[in-house]
Amino acid sequence: MAMNAQGRPTRAEVTQAAAAQRAPTTFTGNRALQIEESLIFEKDAFDKTGVDLPEPKGTSRLGAHARDGAIGLPGLSEPETMRHFVRLSQKNYAIDMGPFPLGSCTMKHNPRLNEKMARLPGFADIHPLQPQSTVQGALALIHELAEWLIALTGMPAVAMSPKAGAHGELCGMMAIKAALEARGEAQTRKRVLAPESAHGTNPATAAQCGFRVDSIPADRSGRVDLAALKEKLGPDVAAIMVTNPNTCGLFERDVMAIAEAVHEAGGYFYCDGANFNAIAGKVRPGDLGVDAMHINLHKTFSTPHGGGGPGSGPVVLSEALAPFAPVPYVVKENGGYHLVETRRAAEAEGEGHAGGRLTAFHGQMGMFVRALSYMLSHGLDGIRQAAEDAVLNANYVLARLKTEMTPAFEGYCMHEALFDDRFMKGTGVETIDFAKAMIDEGYHPMTTYFPLVVRGAMLIEPTESESRQELDLFCDALLSIARRAKAGDPALKSAPHHAPRRRLDETAAARAPILRWTAPDRE
Ligand SMILES: *Cc1c(COP(=O)(O)O)cnc(C)c1O
């Protein structure tokens, strides 16, 4: 099997013997109540329609634009349509079905209360272009959520409009760039430092903003090597991007020394806040010297993601960067709320807000409602307990699994437990086989081959949502796979065996995806 430097297979390989281990086929292709489902275009329904529309009378007013051929869309009846989409939905794993241990993603339970609040017509049925006097409640909600984020992070300002973590990074790095421009140093400070273990969005964001990315090595404990970092600092450094707790699931103990060193060198400290769930209510990033940090509401504050809903990535900003926040933002005045929507209006308010506009409207309103609902129903003490339980759960998993699997680093972890592939050395079984075997056991795989600093990485984030009983079953299942791996069980090489589809060529799917259906006779 061809491998890249992190031990990730670069192409799929299923041996003949393994492929022969298929379950017996059925006449329908169905597997018990898992119904095989074709593409909607393959249902041969082009000459049908699910609704009866009257023939148009008279001549078309479209002139030369009138359609002269069949539209080429399948026309299913309502029950056929329902079945198609419900069957497809059942091919999808969801947090409402079982543990979703995808490390770094914080796949926690999405409380139903949040959903109920988001569906209130006063939030769900409004439009961003409505007169502000008619959406005072929505503006009040954005304002209150902003205040919670400011209080939880100890930072003076927050930009609410970014629509995902990566988008928040863009917002923060653009604020840094604008601040450097204002200092007249945009031309000289072109380098951004990021640890080797960084999430791919960090270097991507820095590069997108025109910076050169320089990676900082990790020390033996899996944390930023402070001495190596200090050596890299200089008058051309714009910023450092550090995740804390980091992507190895470890708290950067030197974070304050890191912030101090970067500030001394004239740079800014961007903190990737994707892992805030581990410290929310316990640590305020503002006290650590952070200048900008995005908060993935869809991770820490329980709004659905991973196919369940859009993200939302507000960015908190330090005193130094606040003047470069984007518009729009909400201001509370005379007992009412209003939106400051343009740079000119922001200047009139006496605030810089040189960042301009990042999104068409004010952010992900539905996610704001859900996140604030989570905060209000938990309270600060509940948020703190969630963080503690998330860390406790991850350490429970670490303690149970290390009897068979090899932790990547020594000691306790924060909210996620990281393993490498040493325990499978010489068996022929790889991380990808282990992950696929988890699907057969009814689990979404953990994050694999990330962070890149660990060979064959397996990153498990149980979150606080899982009970002891659920964690025990999960750990028992993983321990059994680990034992099978050590015994070199060949069936692992062709897992999953019980899924609707078998082992896919993920590399081809990522690099050469076929996104367009072509009618067989037009091929
Ligand atoms: C999830 C994540 C991001 C990106 O956030 P999105 O909301 O997916 O854009 C960035 N960094 C880390 C460490 C993450 O886990």
Residue closest via CA to ligand 1's atom 6 equals 165
CB 155 within 8 A of CB 290: yes
Which distant-in-sequence residues (6+ apart) come within 8 Å of 408 by Cβ? 222, 248, 418, 419, 420, 454, 457
Same domain flag for 365 and 414: no
Residue type, 14: V
Indicate whether 518 belongs to any domain. no
Using CA atoms, how far apart are residues 193 and 224, in angstroms rounded to an integer?
11
Q: What is the 3-state secondary structure (H, E, C) of 270-321?
A: EEEHHHHHHCCCCCCHHHHCCCEEECCHHHHCCCCCCCCCCCCCCEEECCCC
Identify the domain boundary among 322, 357, 373: 373
Residue 241 phi, psi (nearest 5): -115, 110
CA of 243, closest atom in ligand 1 = 13
Which of 296, 301, 414 is the best mutation target for the ligand 1 pocket, counting ligand atoms within 8 Å of the beta carbon and taking the most?
A: 296
Indicate whether 94 belongs to any domain. no
Indicate whether 420 belongs to any domain. yes
Segments of the chain with pLDDT less than 50:
523
β-strand 212-216 against 191-195: which pairing, if any? parallel
Residue closest via CA to ligand 1's atom 14 equals 274
Indicate whether 350 belongs to any domain. yes
Say how many Å lie between the CA of residue 77 and the centre of ligand 1: 40
CA of 247, closest atom in ligand 1 = 13
Same domain flag for 389 and 369: no
Output the CA angle 490-494-498, nearest 5 degrees: 115
**Token digits of residue 24:** 């017996």
Say how many Å lie between the CA of residue 489 and the centre of ligand 1: 35
Say how many Å lie between the CA of residue 270 and the centre of ligand 1: 14
Say how many Å lie between the CA of residue 334 and the centre of ligand 1: 38
Residue closest via CA to ligand 1's atom 7 equals 165
Per-residue pLDDT at 283: 97
Same domain flag for 403 and 351: no
Same domain flag for 312 and 331: yes
Say how many Å lie between the CA of residue 401 and the centre of ligand 1: 26
Burial class (CB in 10 A: 0-12, 13-18, 19+), 403: exposed
CA of 311, closest atom in ligand 1 = 7
Identify the domain boundary among 373, 402, 436: 373
**Token digits of residue 320:** 């130094």
Say how many Å lie between the CA of residue 243 and the centre of ligand 1: 10
Same domain flag for 397 and 324: no
Q: Give the global pTM.
A: 0.91
Per-residue pLDDT at 500: 84
The whole domain housing 398 covers 380-509
Using CA atoms, how far apart are residues 380 and 465, in angstroms rounded to an integer?
17
Indicate whether 354 belongs to any domain. yes
Per-residue pLDDT at 26: 85
Say how many Å lie between the CA of residue 320 and the centre of ligand 1: 24
Residue closest via CA to ligand 1's atom 8 equals 165
How many residues can be counted in the chain?
523
Residue 60 phi, psi (nearest 5): -70, 145
Which DSSP state fits 58?
Answer: S
Domains of the chain: total? 2
Say how many Å lie between the CA of residue 171 and the centre of ligand 1: 14
CA of 166, closest atom in ligand 1 = 9
CA of 164, closest atom in ligand 1 = 7
CA of 106, closest atom in ligand 1 = 15
Which distant-in-sequence residues (6+ apart) come within 8 Å of 339 by Cβ? 132, 139, 328, 329, 330, 331, 362
Say how many Å lie between the CA of residue 200 and the centre of ligand 1: 9
Burial code (b: 16+ CB inside 10 Å, e: under 16) for 364-375 equals bbbbbbbbbbbb
Indicate whether 243 belongs to any domain. yes
Same domain flag for 334 and 467: no
Which of 105, 170, 201 is the best mutation target for the ligand 1 pocket, counting ligand atoms within 8 Å of the beta carbon and taking the most?
A: 201
CA of 168, closest atom in ligand 1 = 9
Same domain flag for 349 and 451: no
Indicate whether 15 belongs to any domain. no
Same domain flag for 329 and 412: no
Say how many Å lie between the CA of residue 165 and the centre of ligand 1: 5
Euclidean distance between the first and final Cα of the chain, in Å? Answer: 33
β-bridge partners, 243: 272
Residue showing tokens 């964001």: 205
Say how many Å lie between the CA of residue 44 and the centre of ligand 1: 41
Residue 290 sits in a domain of what CATH number? 3.40.640.10
Say how many Å lie between the CA of residue 148 and the centre of ligand 1: 21
CB 414 within 8 A of CB 249: yes
Which of 199, 293, 367 is the best mutation target for the ligand 1 pocket, counting ligand atoms within 8 Å of the beta carbon and taking the most?
A: 199
**Token digits of residue 329:** 């933002």
Say how many Å lie between the CA of residue 304 and the centre of ligand 1: 14
Longest dimension (CA), the chain: 80
Which of 100, 102, 104, 277 is the best mutation target for the ligand 1 pocket, counting ligand atoms within 8 Å of the beta carbon and taking the most?
A: 104
| Three-class secondary structure of residue 157 per DSSP | strand
Same domain flag for 309 and 400: no
Same domain flag for 407 and 447: yes
Which of 250, 272, 453 is the best mutation target for the ligand 1 pocket, counting ligand atoms within 8 Å of the beta carbon and taking the most?
A: 272
Indicate whether 497 belongs to any domain. yes
Identify the domain boundary among 373, 398, 424: 373
Using CA atoms, how far apart are residues 154 and 317, in angstroms rounded to an integer?
10
What is the DSSP annotation of 378-442? HHHHHHHHHHHHHHHHHHHHHHHHTTTSEESSSS--SS-EEEESGGGTTSS--HHHHHHHHHHTT
Same domain flag for 329 and 350: yes
Residue type, 156: P
Residue 448 sits in a domain of what CATH number? 3.90.1150.10
Q: What is the 3-state secondary structure (H, E, C) of 338-390?
A: EEECCHHHHHHCCCCCCCCECCCCCCCHHHHHHHHHHHHHHHHHHHHHHHHHH
Per-residue pLDDT at 522: 54
Say how many Å lie between the CA of residue 166 and the centre of ligand 1: 6
Residue ranges around ligand 1 (CB below 6 Å): 104-105, 164-166, 199, 201, 243, 247, 272, 274, 296, 311, 313
Same domain flag for 309 and 175: yes
Residue closest via CA to ligand 1's atom 5 equals 165
